[in-house]
Amino acid sequence: SASASASTPSRRLALFHIGSVIPQAHLFGTKAPGSKAEGNSSLEAGTTGVMAQASTAVDQDSSLDWAKKDRRRLLHVVYRVGDLDRTIKFYTECLGMKLLRKRDIPEERYTNAFLGYGPEDSHFVIELTYNYGVDKYDIGTGFGHFGIAVEDVSKTVDLIRSKGGKVTREPGPVKGGSTVIAFIDDPDGYKFELLERGPTPEPLCQVMLRVGDLDRSINFYEKAFGMELLRKSDNPEYKYTIAM
């Protein structure tokens, strides 16, 4: 994972997974150096507002037609945690995920577990890895957050808080929009954005990363993975640029 000092420009990339057979739209972006911590919630909210609008830019019929022609999709994301059972408990009890499988590899001194909202052959899932004897990791600045669609953000936040979870942005509408969101941290400090939406077969709907050169990253994802740039916009007020 990428890591950078606080004075280094940070960039952001988000991936939309619209449904179990619907391809992901992809969001890249940047946040310039010197942004103050107290502006983070507004920045996240503003960016999310763009995300929420973009998620409806391609209608359901068009997306399904696209999926019929191109079956490529993101399979899973892998990251390390300090206490596997603690994280599994948090994801299943607070976020409603299911433990799909778990395996121990003693000869290589690690255990991993796969969690998600449906089978691996049709859903984007999370792979957690626990390395023997390592209980803490430096997440760095490259990773932004995961996005999960829920029907009632406030109710989900109350549940997370009752389980001892950390809420970093209380439920409320995004700036300039009506979508209700909240931000929470998992036990290892990985951030999750909760987005209030109707029922969906694929609640795990986005991954946001920061990149160092927006145009370079767009070029890479287009040429290496055949992704399509859907839109790109600049937000000078919060000093970042996003592209989907």
Query: Which of 145, 132, 186 is CA-nearest to residue 45?
Result: 145
What Å distances lie between residue 153 and 157, 166, 179, 182, 183, CA to CA? 6, 14, 10, 7, 10
Question: Which of 170, 164, 197, 165 shows the shortest CA–CA distance to 182?
Answer: 170
How far apart are alpha carbons 9 and 90 in whole angstroms?
A: 32
Is 145 among the annotated ligand-binding positions? Answer: yes
Instruction: Output the pTM of the full model.
Output: 0.70
Q: How many CA atoms lie within 13 A of 29 on its CB side?
A: 32
Residue in 93, 120, 193, 222 annotated catalytic: 193
Mean model confidence pLDDT for the chain: 78
The tens digit of pLDDT for each residue in 65-86 reads 655 566 777 888 999 999 999 9
Enumerate domains of the chain plus CATH numbers: 10-73+135-243 (no CATH), 76-131 (3.10.180.10)
User: Which of 59 and 228 is assigned the larger pLDDT?
Assistant: 228
Least confident segment among 50-59, 161-170, 193-202, 209-218: 50-59
pLDDT above 90: residue 159: yes
Q: Is 108 annotated as a binding residue?
A: no
Residue scoring higher pLDDT (20 or 85): 85
193 is catalytic: yes
Q: What is the pLDDT of residues 174-208, one digit of tens each?
A: 888 899 999 999 999 999 999 999 998 889 988 88
pLDDT for 31 equals: 39
The per-residue pLDDT for 139 is 92
Q: What is the pLDDT of residue 117?
A: 93
pLDDT digits (tens, 9 = 90+) for 94-131: 999 999 999 999 999 999 999 999 999 889 999 999 99
